[in-house]
Structure 1
């Protein structure tokens, strides 16, 4: 007589339980990918803002506007207000492509940029200022409650 080979019901149940345990363990990691992608995109925005600020300051320095509290330079044919050589919060959109159309303010502060409703990571732009007679450069700072944001 020929013996049939196959899996018993208990063996199949054990395999299903093991697969269930693996799925429960791995699922949270995969479900968090969207937040990680948003954090990475916001970090890219912060880098773009810093680069644009540096280029703007360079253009302002060439034009002799870097020491003035209020100055103007041309950026892609658009008159852009600068404060001590850095773009003002109102003209930042002139030097960072897509800032006004692709990004929103995730918190009530109008000087923040990120994903609407996502406070895990966002960018805070602070204009240049004068402190003790010395110009303080504009800053870009990452804020948020996601551990990967900083």
Structure 2
């Protein structure tokens, strides 16, 4: 007699179940990772505006009332893949996020408020984003 070789149906079902469990764990982690990466890119795109607001404040004796988009040396923001628009009013930067970042993030805003000190500027970030990973990333560097 010839002995049959191969996997039994039970063994194959166990392997499929293990793969399903691993996918159920990995998918949410991957989605959080992509949202955080896109949100980080959105925040980084505001760095040029933050620098311009800092220079404007320095040139005006730490007064931010003339630090607006298109005036006081603050440039007008060009939209990026992650940021639909950005406006600067009295040094406060408001980013409106673009679509395609993730649920509870698309179209929301990030507000960056400058805190002018005698020798430096710190920034406080607030947001309307409710997605946990993105919100933590946005608010983690607040002083």
Structures share fold, TM-score greater than 0.5: yes
Normalising by structure 1, what TM-score? 0.56
Shift of 1:4: 2.7
Unaligned runs of 5+ in 2: 99-105
CA distance in 1 between partners of 2:11 and 2:72 (Å): 62
Q: Which of 64, 67, 73 matches 1:88? A: 67
Normalising by structure 2, what TM-score? 0.58
Larger Rg: 1
CA RMSD of aligned residues (A): 3.8
SS of match in other structure, 1:148 = helix
CA distance in 2 between partners of 1:54 and 1:26 (Å): 41
Question: Is the contact between residue 56 and residue 72 of structure 2 (CA under 8 Å) also seen in structure 1?
Answer: no
| Structure 2 CA distance for partners of 1:53 and 1:86, relative to 1, 3 Å | farther
What is the number of residues matched between the two proteins? 118
Unaligned runs of 5+ in 1: 61-65, 68-82, 129-134
